[in-house]
Amino acid sequence: MKNELLLFVVVGAFFGYFMLGYVKNSEGQKDDTIFVDAGSKYNTSLEKKSGTYKHNIDLSTTEEWRQADKWQQSYLHEEFMRLFPDFEAMREFANNNIIGDSFKAKLIANIDRVEDPFYANEIDKNEALKGLDEF
């Protein structure tokens, strides 16, 4: 009887440990890409602000003239702007979180265009932030 109870406790503990480890490791590994359709209103219900999710915004299917508006409406834009004045982190953010080569190239060009004048004190913080948003 003691052996059966001990075996039951060991098997139960192993099962519980396995299940908790499996659930913990599987959380947050889903693809959480935000798809923006040019014909629809931006869906904020897809925006989860958990640190365990990787967020992307897909602007590759959006018409080029609407990409900047869609970018500026997303919370990823706010997150991007909070990285200022770490221009290298801003480049990395753009490369990792924006899907759409044409818009990504424009954004990185804006970063490059603003970086040197900002560090040379030719423009102030407000002008630099404004320059990052000009498309």
Distance CA 101, CA 93 (A): 14
Give the count of beta carbons closer than 10 Å to the beta carbon of residue 80. 21
- Summarised one tens digit per residue, pLDDT across range 27-62 is 555 555 555 544 444 444 444 443 434 688 888 888
- Summarised one tens digit per residue, pLDDT across range 70-80 is 988 888 888 99
pTM score, whole prediction: 0.57
